[in-house]
Copies of this chain bind each other. A is one copy, B any other.
Amino acid sequence: MTTYKRRLNLNVGINTTGYLGNAWKYRTGTREEITDPAYYLRLTQLAHRGRFDSVFFSDHPALMTDPNSRPFHTIDPLILVTALAAQVPDIGFVATMSSTYNSPYNLARRTQSTDIISAGRLIINIVSSFNPAVAANFSNEPLPPRDVRYAKAREFLDVAKKLWASWDPRRAGEVPPERFWDASQAQAIEHEGEYFSVKGALNVPRGPQGHPVIAQAGASEGGIDLAARHGEIIYCNILSREAGQAFRKKVFDRAREVGRDTSEIRIVPGLVAIVGETREEALRKHELFSGAGSEDGLLARFIRENGLDADTFNPDEVLDAQRFIPDPNRIMAVGMGLGLSDLLAHEKLTARQVVRRSEGHHRLVLGTAEEVADQIIDLWADGTVDGYTYQPPRAPDDIEEFVEKVVPILRDRGVYPTEYEGKTIRDRYGLPYPA
């Protein structure tokens, strides 16, 4: 890994019609294609054209049946990724899966299988599931409390790592001609823990990456701990340099505490980019794609979402950061709310400014292609982030626009590749191979 030269890493989210719930009204394509594998193949080919490191699928194993919303998680991500990997070369795949509602043996086996099939292009995004609608699909037990879910996730990944390493062909010795194999290359793991009891060995051998790259997204205390122990790619909400550096320090400090080398960790937050011919055009697109319709609409949404009093609220007054710290016990993913409070902890901002700094909880960058590229490079150049997970408001439209307009500028600035280099995700992210 000594030859790895730091460069901007970019992933792209390709769930259904794009990241923003209201932007589908302005996209190209049919509604039916959200369950059509051929659609995801086109999106992946488009992402490949843009030399994205990976396509990213978030997930919940539940159907949200709000008639005013849209189904956002449908075809099983690992199944879809496996089919796409068989058809599109080079590019990596992030598949989200729950440590609360899977068994370690099955999950370790399936993911190692896909990593082998894709020749080392799988990233698994392990989530602990926060939605009661998910729990109801698996039993009549309620969702376990957050601390139990994270403790279980931690042990889940401990077990998975043992399983991924349990059948290692590199241990095989000489095999006499009457035998098929040296069975001692596979060793039982005999795991007996608080949540799991797994004998092993896994019946899939060590894959081309040692094991799939592990992504982690939680930003609660439990999430930070899990990221520090097991995360290799951290997906998060970072709205400013100061907030990003504080987050990075928090994860890295915890990683050192548990004895981990922080050079094994990449921070690749979500990013919503909206490109216009002018900044004004980008602002108007933001108002449309967000569903707010206008700047007043964005402010009205801000007031509503934060439970403020519309009659007395002044959108041009500096906001009080304390007011926006989310309740750590709320059911929703804690990380989604932390972005805003972390932003306000470091910058004095009015609501009118804040509504242009994030969309869908992620950093929003608005403007011409040059302005967007500059803002992307800005936090990367000094090491605040290692790259971004671009969440296009609309798919395919905003991916196309990004590939055609922003990517060439990133290349001109010398921070982004023109061709795929290396073979695996570990090569592309400069991540070490597990011993």
Interface on A for B, CB 8 Å cutoff? 17, 24-25, 31-32, 35, 37, 60-63, 65-71, 73-76, 78-80, 82-87, 101-103, 105-106, 109-110, 113-114, 116-117, 133, 136-140, 167, 169, 178-184, 186, 188, 192, 196-205
Contacts and interface: CB of A to CB of B under 8 A. Distances in A.
A70 B182 CA distance: 9
A193 B201 CA distance: 33
Nearest to A64: B203
Nearest to A71: B203
Contacts of A65: 183, 186, 188, 201
Contacts of A17: 180
29 contacts: A17-B180, A24-B180, A31-B181, A35-B204, A35-B205, A61-B105, A61-B109, A63-B186, A63-B201, A63-B202, A70-B181, A74-B205, A75-B116, A75-B204, A76-B113, A76-B204, A78-B110, A79-B110, A79-B117, A80-B113, A83-B83, A83-B117, A87-B87, A101-B103, A105-B138, A136-B199, A137-B198, A139-B196, A140-B192
Contact of A106 (B25, B102, B201): B102
A42 to B, nearest CB: 14
Given A136-B199, A203-B63, A76 B110 contact: yes
Given A76-B109, A80-B117, 5 more contacts: A24-B180, A63-B167, A65-B183, A65-B188, A79-B82
A83 B80 contact: no
Contact of A199 (B106, B113, B133, B169): B133
Given A186-B63, A198-B138, A117 B181 contact: no
A136 B86 CA distance: 32
A200 B137 CA distance: 6
Nearest to A198: B137
A68 B178 CA distance: 8
Overall SS of chain A's interface: loop
Contacts of A70: 180-181
A310 to B, nearest CB: 24
B179 A67 contact: yes
Contact of A86 (B75, B83, B103, B110): B83
A79 B78 contact: yes
Contacts of A139: 196-197
Contacts of A83: 82-83, 85-86, 117
Nearest to A134: B105
A433 to B, nearest CB: 18
A66 B84 CA distance: 36
A138 to B, nearest CB: 6
A169 B35 CA distance: 11
A73 B198 contact: no
Given A65-B183, A101-B106, A198-B137, A117 B75 contact: yes
Contacts of A76: 106, 109-110, 113, 204
Nearest to A190: B136
Nearest to A88: B86
A161 to B, nearest CB: 16
Contact of A74 (B79, B188, B204): B204
A138 B109 CA distance: 12
Contacts of A137: 105, 198-200
Contacts of A181: 31, 67, 70-71
Nearest to A200: B137
Nearest to A82: B82
Contacts of A85: 83
A204 B65 CA distance: 12
